[in-house]
Amino acid sequence: MIKINENYLKLEASYLFADIAKRVAAFQRAHPGRQVIKLGIGDVTRPLPAACIQAFHTAIDEMARAETFRGYGPEQGYEFLREKIAQHDFQARGANIAADEIFVSDGAKCDNGNIQEVFATDITVAIPDPVYPVYLDTNVMAGRTGAFVDGRYQGVVYMDGTRKNGFVPALPEAEVGLIYLCFPNNPTGATIGKAQLKQWVDFARARKAIILYDAAYEIFIRDPDLPHSIYEIEGAAEVAVEFRSFSKMAGFTGTRCAYSVVPKACTAYTAAGEPQPVHALWHRRHTTKFNGVSYPVQRAAAAVYSSEGLAQCRELSDYYLRNAKLIRNELSDLGYACIGGDNSPYIWVDCRMDSWKFFDLLLEKANVVCTPGVGFGRCGAGYVRISAFNDHEKVQLAMERIRNVLRAA
């Protein structure tokens, strides 16, 4: 008799965004005449930057000729892309990251979900609440948690994000092995300064823990004092793995390209306390289970770092930030406390009621989709997340509808 991984039975029946999509589809079936505006899942709507499109076309043409055709590439990514990433995203900011510490992949979601596989099952994981559900769910799947009781998995160290701490949780008091951090934050849009981030790095070094730092929304940072990478903090390379994505940076949600940074200095330990480089473990995993991102996609990603590509990506992120500002201003004017939206495409709104009720109100009366905060964890109850990823005209229309509904409510 074949047996299942029973850890899966501890999970909620469906992934948050799949659940929302199902509800929205049911609403659309019931009201086929209504034009629903989606500000729920953070999916981009604008076309790829012209520099990326051009590089894509050129690479496809190379694949069409025998002399320039390419089969399997290096699993970790082509040198031409890894070099550019290391130089532009890290070395230019004073972070000493080398090209061979970059692992190109098909998504930060996959990397975030896969990385925990190289750590022991019996470690304790510290996870913020509210949180991007992937961090938590993949640890549940791996058997690092107990049952789901009262909105929380037993055995997880939850780090509460509240209005009081500006949704930047305090350092955990418990003994923890893996710590998940995400800045600019998904879902709250909160950011972290260098001094505060240094406290986390120092904490991880003192405890021999590892920080999994998700910086997928780095492109939206405008405040010059905010760190773009955890490696801007001294000593972070010993204790941190960082995740980045071209999804939000260059509109690659449907194109798929991301990367993780695993510095050679980053160290974890055997049960006997022997130090082991995480780089070697991740390298082994990546080269065994992954066959690389396609050549044209990597060429398109490399074009992000050309002078035109950089300018076009900046323009793209400015476009979504303009939406974010509009959303935040409108909701604030209506008297709702908001955070995020200035260095982030997400606006976290205190909706002053049950977050699913607010979700239903917006869907049914304004025909606008948001994401209920409680879907990101217990501390998200009473909040919703509104995403700035949509066309500006649609965001304007959504805000007009929301204004009418909330004024009348």
Residues forming contacts to ligand MLT in the complex (CB under 6 A) are: 41-43, 109, 132, 186
CB of 149 to ligand MLT, least distance (A): 25
Residue 74 Cα distances to 84, 103, 339, 343, angstroms: 16, 10, 42, 34
Radius of gyration, CA atoms only, the chain = 21
Nearer to ligand MLT, 260 or 266 (CB): 260
Residue nearest to ligand MLT (CB): 42
Task: Give CA–CA dist 323/340, Å, rounded.
Answer: 12
When the beta carbons of 18 and 147 are compared against ligand MLT, the nearer one is 18
Dihedral of CA atoms 187, 193, 196, 199 in degrees, nearest 10, equals 100
Q: Which is nearer to ligand MLT, 18 or 63 (CB)?
A: 18
Smallest separation, CB 218 to ligand MLT (Å): 13
Q: Which has the closest alpha carbon to 301: 151, 108, 161?
A: 108
SS3 129: strand
DSSP letter at 101 equals: G
Q: What is the dihedral of CA 118, 121, 122, 128, to 10 degrees?
A: 80
Measured in residues, the chain has a length of 409
> Which amino acid appears at position 388 of this protein?
A
C-beta closer to ligand MLT: residue 20 or 156: 20
**CA 22 to each of CA 43, 322, 371: distance values in angstroms, whole numbers, following the listed order:** 16, 29, 13
Q: Which is nearer to ligand MLT, 110 or 397 (CB)?
A: 110
Toward ligand MLT, which CB reaches closer, 41 or 405?
41
| 157-194 exposure pattern, b = at least 16 Cβ within 10 A, e = fewer | bbbebeeeeebbbeebeeebbbbbbbbbbbbbbbbbee
CA 179 and chain centroid, separation: 15
Contact predicate 180/212, CB 8 Å? yes
Q: Output 78 or 246, the one with its CB closest to ligand MLT.
A: 246
For ligand MLT, the closer of residues 42 and 292 by Cβ is 42
Extract the tokens encoding 162: 């509240």
